[in-house]
Amino acid sequence: MGNLLRRWLIAGMLIWLPLGATLLVIRFVINLLDTSLLLIPEVYRPDIPGLGALLSVVLVLGTGAIAANYIGGKLVVWTEALLSRIPLVRTVYGGIKKLAETIFSDQSRSFRQPLLIEYPRKGIWSVAFLTGEPIGEVQDHTSEHLLTCFVPTTPNPTSGFIVMVPDRDAIRLKMSVEDAMRLVISLGVVTPQNLPRVGKGGDTAVDAL
């Protein structure tokens, strides 16, 4: 009887834990987006759940449409020039803008390539994501061609470590970014389907023969 109850308990937890966590995340995102209702005077503010999320989407699309035309683009340039003159604001705004441009650019390689690297020491492997290639002073201090990699922590992949690894020591994985992220979040329990083994430099084992 005890083993049966234990099986039921585990089966129930396997259903409710991921479902509950998903609902909490969705609720957090909706509540965050609902803050856009603060733009509406309190007298005219409707008490409709989720309306803020819709308003946020419309606001982002509208801003993008304005910024995409000639006059809007000039206004954005003028605003950024103004912000760049404010000491603390220019540092924060400039850094976040650069990060957003890197992530959302179609030509960007950031977070589009899962890697396997030896971290935190030789012989121990970690899943990482390619975020870029160092330039300037960082690259000048080494003769190696370096890759900037983000090693996420588990089960919370929003925190992690930035490491710079020689290109020749990084193994490019064939799995998608989504599969690699699932592997990290699930503590290694959810693994992607087997794919051709990839060697250093991106060649599969078949290609190397």
Residue the block writes with tokens 């051709």: 196
Select from 77, 28, 78 the least CA-distant residue to 53.
28
Annotated domain spans of the chain:
2-104, 114-208
pLDDT per residue of the chain (209 residues) written in tens, 0 to 9: 778 788 888 878 777 877 887 788 778 877 777 777 777 787 777 777 778 878 888 888 888 888 888 888 888 888 888 888 888 777 888 777 776 766 666 555 667 789 999 999 999 999 999 987 777 788 888 888 899 999 998 877 878 899 999 999 999 998 888 888 888 888 888 777 655 555 555 554 334 33
Residue 129 φ then ψ, to 5°: -125, 135
> Which residues, in sequence order, are CB contacts of 186 under 8 Å at separation 6+?
155
Q: Is the separation of the CB atoms in 168 and 146 below 8 Å?
A: no
Of the CA atoms within 13 Å of residue 77, those in its CB half-sphere come to 7
Sign of the alpha-carbon torsion through 104, 62, 58, 34: positive
